[in-house]
Amino acid sequence: MRVLLVEDDENLRFGVAAALRAAGLAVDEVADLPQADEALFITAYDCAVFDRMLPSGDAADFVDGLRRAGQGVPVLFLTARDTVADRVEGFARGGDDYLVKPFAVPELVARVRSLCRRAATVRPPVHRVGDLEVDTARRQVRRAGVLLTLTSREFAVLEVLAARADQAVTRAELVESCWDEMAEPQSNVLEVLVSQLRRKLGAPALIHTVRGVGYRLAPGDAR
C-alpha cells in the first residue's frame, strides 16, 4: 500500500515516514501543496496524510478542491488545531480522519492502515489461493492452516500478488506498490524478497516467475 505524506517539518516528516515504512507501507514525502498536487497527479495512493497548516496554504482548502475534482483518496489531517469546530471543519472539507498534535506514532500508523483498507474495500479481506490464506485485515498468512511469520515487506508483496491471483504482476507494479520513491528499481531487492517468500511458503510452489514480466501467485505448476 502506498501513502503520500505532506509535512513541511522535516524532522516530523522523517519520523512519520520511517514509522510507516517500518510498518510495511510505501511512503512518498513532499513538503508543500504544489508538490502534493504533482504527486497525486502521477501516482494512485491508498491514503494521503496532510499537515493541516502548511506554508503553501491550508491543506483543507486543497483537499476540498480535490474532492470537487472527484479525487477520492482517503485523507488524514495532522494538526495542532484541536477544537471541535476545527475537527468538524476538517471533515466537512473532505478529510476522512483527524489526528491532533502531539500524537502517538503507533496510533497514526493504525489510522493510516485503516484508511488504506477503506480504499481497498472492493477487495476481499481474505484472499485464498489453493491452501494459502492471506488475511489483509489481520495481516496474517496461513498455509494449510499453519500461521506463517512474514516481514512487513514480504506481506506487502504477497498481498499484491494475492489480490491478483492467477494474473501476471509486473516487477514494476510490485515495486510501485510496495516500495516508495527512495527504492532503487534496478537493484535485486525484489528478487531476493520473492526468494525468501518462496522459502517461507514452502512446497508446492505458489509464486511462479513469468519470464520477462514478473510473478504470478497460483497453485500448482502455473508457468
Q: Where are the domains of the chain?
A: 2-119, 126-217
State which amino acid sits at residue 112. V
Q: What is the pLDDT of residue 222?
A: 47
Q: What is the pLDDT of residue 114?
A: 86
Q: What is the pLDDT of residue 182?
A: 60
What is the value of pTM for the model shown?
A: 0.60
Q: What is the pLDDT of residue 122?
A: 47
Distance CA 30, CA 10 (A): 10
Please identify which residue in the block is written with the cell numbers 502531539: 102
Q: What is the pLDDT of residue 186?
A: 61
Give residues with Cβ within 8 angstroms of 141, minimum separation 6: 132, 133, 134, 135, 147, 148, 150, 155, 158
Distance CA 161, CA 186 (A): 20
- Let me know if domain 126-217 sits in CATH 1.10.3720.10: no
Distance CA 206, CA 221 (A): 8
In the three-class reduction of DSSP (H, G, I as helix; E, B as strand; rest coil), residue 179 is classed as: coil
Q: What is the pLDDT of residue 184?
A: 56
DSSP state of 197: H
Q: Which has the closest alpha carbon to 74: 94, 90, 51, 102? A: 94
CA 173 to chain centre: 13
The CATH class that applies to domain 2-119 reads: alpha beta
Q: What is the pLDDT of residue 79?
A: 86
Angle between helices 10-22 and 105-119 (to 10 degrees): 60
Phi-psi region of 157 (alpha: psi -120 to 50; beta: other; left: phi over 0): alpha
In the three-class reduction of DSSP (H, G, I as helix; E, B as strand; rest coil), residue 28 is classed as: strand
112 class by beta-carbon count within 10 Å (0-12 exposed, 13-18 middle, 19+ buried): buried
Give every residue of the chain whose pLDDT is below 70, as ranges.
119-125, 137, 181-187, 220-223
